[in-house]
Amino acid sequence: MSDEALILNGIAVDDTFAEAFPMKATRIVVTAHRMEWARHAGVTATGFATSVIACGCEAGIERELGPDETPDGRPGVALLIFAMSGKELAKQLERRVGQCVLTCPTTAVYAGLHEGEAIGLGKNLRFFGDGWQTSKVIGGRRYWRAPVMDGEFIAQETTAVVKGVGGGNLLLLARDTDAALDAAEAAVAAMRRVPDVVMPFPGGVVRSGSKVGSKYPALMASTNDAFCPTLVGLALKSELDERIGCVMEIVIDGLTEAAVGEAMRVGMNAVIARGADSGLIRISAGNYGGKLGPFHFPLRRLLGSTEGASA
């Protein structure tokens, strides 16, 4: 935190930046006979997809779609999936759609992006039809139809992969657990209204913020001791003081740098609007001195402020 504090509605905003890195990304659209089943497929397909550290991909439901927004005129959900390479993204996509969408009653799956490198969506899943599958080209795009017990599973042959941004983040430093959770929930609710982003952790929030590396050589990441309240006075470089009893992090992945920055801005404004009486004390962010990734999101600049002290 800088010597000259920026205070907005009683909440300090650190003079720091969130550091993010390049990823590969795609969007797919899952539809169903009823929204309930599209939602079931979306939740299942994006499960165990919080961090590429161990999950292989990061994913989430971007938003729900009305019948007027989907290719087949049924309710649906848009999913965003991110990975560190196009190859890994293709593998994760095929497995997740095959196990979680194909299996879900009444669903169909379509590309949510059309410009970019093509990867398989229904291209290999069609073989589940065991020779009974058929295809049709509509508007220059191929769709596969495989017989299943409730009718047909329809899947567009490919979807597109684009460059994405992973690891945008906010750290919410609060008086206690209730205040930290309330702030995080308010921020995530606001951020979910921003297009082209997802917050991949449970409920959009992560309590186990990490740093790169560990004292144990086998681990690539470990607890962010600088922001652990229980380590105040013990960690060599704690960022906290005795006022802070709980810290929650929100991680943002997006299709563009602008989308990630906008989500961070919206999230900060949502918690600042609640004021210091909410128990939120500071807003900060995680970075590694610019060594982790090329995308830097200065908190104060996102809020439109280059000043020090402020009311």
C-alpha distance across the termini of the chain, in Å: 17
Task: Read off the DSSP letter of residue 24.
Answer: E
Same domain membership, residue 28 and residue 83: yes
| CATH number of residue 289's parent domain | 3.30.70.520
pLDDT in tens, 198-240: 999 999 999 999 988 899 999 988 999 999 999 998 988 899 9
β-bridge pairing 141-148 and 134-138: antiparallel
Tens-digit pLDDT profile for residues 286-297: 998 887 899 999
CB atoms under 10 Å from CB of 233, counted, come to 9
Would the CA dihedral through 68, 69, 72, 75 be positive or negative?
Answer: negative
pLDDT on residue 273: 98
My answer on whether 62 and 100 are in the same domain is yes
In a domain, 195, yes or no: yes
Q: What is the pLDDT of residue 309?
A: 37
Residue 309 lies in a domain: no
Same domain for 122 and 73? yes
278: domain range?
6-20+165-302
Residue with more model confidence, 175 or 221: 175
Clarify whether residues 70 and 184 are in a common domain. no
65 in a domain, yes or no?
yes
Is 308 contained in some domain?
no
Give me the pLDDT at residue 212, please. Answer: 85
pLDDT at 102 over 80: yes
With contact defined as beta carbons under 8 Å apart, do 280 and 9 qualify? no
Note whether 235 and 109 are same-domain residues: no
- Based on the fold, state whether residues 42 and 143 are members of the same structural domain: yes
What would the mean pLDDT of 61-83 be, rounded to a whole number?
A: 98
The reply to whether 102 and 202 lie within a common domain is no
CA distance linking residue 185 with residue 190, whole number of Å: 9
Reported as a single tens digit per residue, the pLDDT across 31-71 is: 999 999 999 999 999 999 999 999 999 999 999 999 999 99
Q: Which of 134, 162, 190 is the last residue of a domain?
A: 162
Whether 169 and 44 map to the same domain: the answer is no
Question: In the structure, what pLDDT confidence band is assigned to residue 308 with cuts at 50, 70 and 90?
Answer: very low
Quote the pLDDT of residue 289: 83
Confidence (pTM): 0.94
The answer to whether position 310 is within a domain reads: no
Strands (E), the chain: 6-8, 11-13, 17-31, 58-65, 76-83, 108-111, 117-120, 134-138, 141-148, 151-156, 158-174, 197-198, 210-212, 221-223, 246-254, 280-284, 295-298
